[in-house]
């Protein structure tokens, strides 16, 4: 992006806010401003602070407000670190060039320059405070001596190809130590940094060790702009071993083959989630202290389910206006969800405990490693459920929400593995695959074997794999709680309705996923739809 500018370079250099009109278009197309959000042609500076200043370049942290075209959320404030440079030899690395009257001013994201992280390291190790342009306070807070003043930054690597809401960089130092810098783009209250710090200090080390942070204090409110934590070397995300296991079995599947789940991974996963809940419930802090669940809580949760499902239902009825089969199935799910909302098993929650849980604990929020036979799951991203308000992200929840998220993750793995196999081995179109999947459910419910398709037994086999993984995970979780003599006022044996309550929250999780997919990934709405049908089928089998 080249812009002719009717100013001397020094006029912008000495007054960086004059840069903003030329940043607007670039900022609005970044992944972290939201690919589905449209903005007005305005950008407003809320604050700025100088992180580094030299004759040739400077690092500036901008807080800018973008005005959206949405009625419900008219504006967002974003944190945008920028490098301004003059006399640049390789201008191709700078996406924005201002052709001033006397010189060219080159602009790029500050993170593109390793020296930016060297600057952050110096500020962090010295615990610096920086005054912003609007007299707000920037403060660097070190938590660990692992980040030493003498370290030199060797490289910086953008994680996830930048396809993340908050930007993540892996930093490698000259002694080959590695850490991660997480840049929180939206200025907002966030439970993550406090949760990570207090969980780690309490003894739960299945999270990356937090090393420090950069805050901004605006009036009486404090917002985290950056989090520095240890880098965890992993073989993949938490779902990878399960994905590989199921795909291997599907590829070599034949009728009569026995299921071979990775039992040790299921058990370790259950223990890890139980450990998270145990350590969270121990922390003597208002954010973590367990609270009793009351009838008002239960009614609020049920009402939220009603609302989210209704929005999804109305949207999808329009989306699938000409698809009679899907519309009929949505009507069926409408009845099923309402029946579950009215289930008496919700009453079993009254008087039990709610704690500070993860809120969005799917397997992609974890890293997994296996070394010398030891399996480790490291839990990431404690920002809370993205569908919740800021206040709700700080609230306590029943443990069932985290358990339901893991159960749902197995369903997503199963669906996507089957979908891939349907194309590679059976040459099925996506629609044919979905039709056969529904036929499998229908024939199972009706005990009608005449509808059988060669692909249907493989669907049934994969569902058995999912069920067994869920069972192994849950059994391990409950056994771990019992070793801690912890029950959150719940009766953990199966006969008392524990699984009935879990089924309610599995329904809630599928409804939330249906809502999310309806908003952002309509091609995936079929996954939670099928999940709800399978959940109903399981409930029917239990009753029978």
pTM above 0.85, yes or no: yes
Q: What pLDDT shows up at residue 191?
A: 95
CATH of 118-230, one of 2.40.50, 3.30.200, 3.30.450, 1.10.3470: 3.30.200
- Dihedral, CA atoms, 313, 316, 321, 325, nearest 10 degrees? -80
Answer yes or no: is pLDDT of 451 > 60.
Answer: no
* Residues 365, 358 contacting (CB under 8 angstroms): yes
Percent of the chain with pLDDT over 70: 96
What is the average pLDDT value for the chain, to the nearest integer?
Answer: 91
Count of Cβ atoms closer than 10 Å to residue 170 Cβ: 14
Answer yes or no: is pLDDT of 218 > 80.
Answer: yes
Phi, psi dihedrals of residue 168, rounded to the nearest 5°: -120, 130
CATH of 236-543, one of 3.40.50.2300, 3.30.930.10, 3.90.1200.10, 3.10.690.10: 3.90.1200.10
Q: Reading across the β-sheet that carries 236-237, which strands appear in turn?
A: 236-237, 366-371, 374-379
Answer yes or no: is pLDDT of 494 > 70.
Answer: no
Answer yes or no: is pLDDT of 450 > 50.
Answer: no
Higher pLDDT, 242 or 69: 242
In the chain, domain spans: 2-110, 118-230, 236-543
Q: What pLDDT shows up at residue 539?
A: 59
Q: How far apart are CA 144 and CA 211, in angstroms?
A: 5
Average pLDDT over residues 56-84: 90
Q: Which of 519, 333, 520 is nearest to 438 (CA)?
A: 333
Which of 17-31, 157-171, 203-217 has the highest mean predicted lDDT (pLDDT)?
Answer: 203-217
pLDDT digits (tens, 9 = 90+) for 380-390: 999 999 889 99
Q: How far apart are CA 131 and CA 48, in angstroms?
A: 9
Average pLDDT over residues 137-160: 88
Q: What pLDDT shows up at residue 97?
A: 92
Phi, psi dihedrals of residue 126, rounded to the nearest 5°: -95, 0
Answer yes or no: is pLDDT of 496 > 70.
Answer: no
Count of Cβ atoms closer than 10 Å to residue 419 Cβ: 17
Q: Which of 244, 492, 510 is nearest to 362 (CA)?
A: 510
Token look-up 């992200």 returns 393
Answer yes or no: is pLDDT of 445 > 90.
Answer: no
User: Which of 193-202, 282-291, 425-434, 525-534 shows the lowest per-residue confidence on average (mean pLDDT)?
Assistant: 425-434
pLDDT digits (tens, 9 = 90+) for 290-309: 999 999 999 999 999 999 99
């Amino acid at each position: 992006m080249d812009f002719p500018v009717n100013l001397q370079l020094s006029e912008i250099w000495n007054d960086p806010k004059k840069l903003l009109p030329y940043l607007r278009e670039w900022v609005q197309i970044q992944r972290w401003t939201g690919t589905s959000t449209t903005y007005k042609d305005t950008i407003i500076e809320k604050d700025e602070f100088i992180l580094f200043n030299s004759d040739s370049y400077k690092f500036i942290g901008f807080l800018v407000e973008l005005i959206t075209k949405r009625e419900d959320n008219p504006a967002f404030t974003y944190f945008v670190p920028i490098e301004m440079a003059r006399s640049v030899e390789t201008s191709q690395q700078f996406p924005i060039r201002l052709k001033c009257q006397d010189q060219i001013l080159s602009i790029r994201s500050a993170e593109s320059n390793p020296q930016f992280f060297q600057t952050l390291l110096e500020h962090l190790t010295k615990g610096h405070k920086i005054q912003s342009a609007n007299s707000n306070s920037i403060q660097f807070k070190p938590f660990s001596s692992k980040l030493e003043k003498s370290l030199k930054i060797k490289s910086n690597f953008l994680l996830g190809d930048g396809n993340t809401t908050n930007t993540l960089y892996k930093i490698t130092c000259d002694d080959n130590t590695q850490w991660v810098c997480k840049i929180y783009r939206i200025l907002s209250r966030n439970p993550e940094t406090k949760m990570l710090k207090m969980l780690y200090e309490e003894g739960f080390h299945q999270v990356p060790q937090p090393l420090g942070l950069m805050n901004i204090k605006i009036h009486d409110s404090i917002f985290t702009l950056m989090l520095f934590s240890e880098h965890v070397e992993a073989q993949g995300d938490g779902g990878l071993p399960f994905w590989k296991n199921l795909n291997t079995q599907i590829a070599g599947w034949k009728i009569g083959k026995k299921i071979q789940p990775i039992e040790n991974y299921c058990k370790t996963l259950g223990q890890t989630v139980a450990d998270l809940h145990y350590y969270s419930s121990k922390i003597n802090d208002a954010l973590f202290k367990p609270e009793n669940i009351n009838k008002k809580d239960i009614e609020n949760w049920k009402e939220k389910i009603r609302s989210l499902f209704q929005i999804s239902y109305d949207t999808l009825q329009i989306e699938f206006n000409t698809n009679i089969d899907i519309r009929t199935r949505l009507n069926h799910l409408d009845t099923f969800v309402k029946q579950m909302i009215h289930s008496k098993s919700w009453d079993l929650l009254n008087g039990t405990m709610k704690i500070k849980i993860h809120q969005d604990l799917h397997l992609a929020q974890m890293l997994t490693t296996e070394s010398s036979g030891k399996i480790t799951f490291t839990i990431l991203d404690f920002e809370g459920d993205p569908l919740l308000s800021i206040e709700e992200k700080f609230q306590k929840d029943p443990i069932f929400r985290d358990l339901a998220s893991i159960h749902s993750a197995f369903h997503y793995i199963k669906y996507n593995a089957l979908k891939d196999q349907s194309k590679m081995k059976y040459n099925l179109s996506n629609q044919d695959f979905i039709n056969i999947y529904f036929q499998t459910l229908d024939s199972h419910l009706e005990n009608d074997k005449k509808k059988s398709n060669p692909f249907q037994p493989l669907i049934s086999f994969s569902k058995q794999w999912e069920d067994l993984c869920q069972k192994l995970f849950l059994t391990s979780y409950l056994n771990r709680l019992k070793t801690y003599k912890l029950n959150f006022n719940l009766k953990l044996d199966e006969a008392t309705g524990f699984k009935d309550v879990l089924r309610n929250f599995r329904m809630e999780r599928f409804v939330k996923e249906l809502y999310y997919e309806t908003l952002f990934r309509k091609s995936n709405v079929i996954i939670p739809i099928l999940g709800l049908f399978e959940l109903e089928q399981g409930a029917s089998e239990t009753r029978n």
